[in-house]
Structure 1
Amino acid sequence: MKPSLPLNLPPEPTLVHEDPHLLVLDKPSGLLCVPGRGEDKQDCLSARAQARWPEALVAHRLDMATSGLVLMARSPAVQRALGDAFAEQAVWKRYEAVVDGVLAEDPHWSVIDAPLMADWPRRPLQKIDPAGKPSVTRWRVLEALPALGASRLLLEPRTGRTHQLRVHLASIGHPILGDALYADAAVQARASRLMLHASVLQFRHPVDGQALRFESPAPF
């Protein structure tokens, strides 16, 4: 007997870019980037991509609850090159989020500089700790949403720590709406999903050096 498929599967990712060396996909919220533990966690972005491009390899990840742009390689050599680019902070990323609290619209950037480490007793949660890895996020207010008691932010992570944006925003008193890990029950209940979207990827092509920029408008 074939194992039953989970109900209410996330929609298919959208192809944003395809060339002989790499892919850019727009991942829906609720879809893992790579398989998790257990038969119910095998549906993921990499599995769906490999059904069409068998050679596809994940170059970086988004949280399951986060939507937006994901870069995939089509060979191990390109995967290594992209991994190096992410490690060297040569890939420029931006996100949009809707957070709790009404903030004044401001064209200036603010910075959260707070080291992060795993909160081992509560894994997979992360926490701010002076002994953690350096973690820096730039942010600014795009739009105040007083009717929702919320604000829309533009985010620019300068490092790529696990749950970095979610922990940093919660640490300044503005957790992301719908965040099941770092927001209280009331803030979590104000959205049907995590209101975080990877909206911009900009980098140089690892093979020909061409400057590439991809954008995906937030679906919320």
Structure 2
Amino acid sequence: MQPQADPFIVPECHDEIEILYRDEALILLNKPSGLLSLSGKHPENKDSVHFRLVQRFPTCTMIHRLDFGTSGIMLVAMNKQINAQLCCQFSERTVSKRYTALLHGHLEQDNGVIDQAIAKDKDNFPLMKICQQTGKPAISKFRVLERFTQTPEASFYREDKRAGERSVTRVEFEPVSGRTHQLRVHSQQIKHPILGCDLYASDQAYFMATRLMLHASELSFDHPLSGERMNIVSPSPF
């Protein structure tokens, strides 16, 4: 029996990919929210970061992904040899990543560490869950940047009665590990889900934003050819 194609058809993304840096070895880009990192199984889900890039750079290969709703920095190798070198840095955790997120409610702590193992939720694909027994270790550091009350003038505001209380905390996340949906699951675990998250947020938090309020804002790694430490920043759009 042939596997069925994913029935979910993603909305068309009209935003362009912004190239932040490019040389003979790699590309650093800014992915818009609402664009797949890789093309989906369904033929109508062809549009993606990879699909667009290979039109211009046929030998480029993906090293990591960002969720469909997440915007921000992605690192792409120009060939398989560079890909292997960069993947080693990710696996050895010498790559530093920082994200900006808007969380529902006001966090009491100004900073902290979330240390909760994450496993696949086999009963609720594609969700992940906290499970100390079967999950893989997952650690996320966070630092509060701002606490505020959302107003109707905010560009990400969704006018919906289900949004309820509109207190918001802007945080900087630094994931030590790189598990699937890690920041989204960890935010839910501390009872301050990411605004606009369709998988892990309450109705209140989901209906407060028109998109997932998570942005990959900083990436640091060693250039595979020169060895120079690269630090790329993409300011959060929210």
Instruction: Give the shorter-chain TM-score range.
Output: over 0.9
Instruction: Give structure 1 stretches of 5+ with no counterpart.
Output: none
Matched with 1:72 is 76
Matched with 2:60 is 56
Cα separation, partners in 2 of 1:136 and 1:7, compared to 1, 3 Å? closer
Matched with 2:88 is 84
Is 1:20 aligned to 2:38, yes or no?
Answer: no
Matched with 2:128 is 126
Q: Which of 132, 139, 143 pairs up with 1:136?
A: 139
Q: TM-score, normalised by structure 1?
A: 0.94
Q: Deviations over 1:121-172 (max 9, x none)?
A: 1111100001200000000100001344110000000000000000001000
Matched with 2:173 is 155
Matched with 1:194 is 212
Q: CA RMSD in A?
A: 1.5
Matched with 2:148 is 145
Measure how far apart 1:7 and its partner are.
Answer: 6.3
Which amino acid in the other structure matches residue 86 of structure 2?
L
**144-153 vs 85-94, which moves further:** 144-153
Q: What SS does the aligned partner of 1:50 have?
A: helix
Contact 1:10 1:29 survives alignment (8 Å): no
Which amino acid in the other structure matches residue 25 of structure 1?
L
Cα separation, partners in 2 of 1:6 and 1:157, compared to 1, 3 Å? closer
Over the matched positions of the two proteins, sequence identity in percent amounts to 41
Q: TM-score, normalised by structure 2?
A: 0.87
**52-61 vs 65-74, which moves further:** 52-61
Instruction: Give structure 2 stretches of 5+ with no counterpart.
Output: 1-8, 151-165
Matched with 1:170 is 188
Which amino acid in the other structure matches residue 112 of structure 2?
S
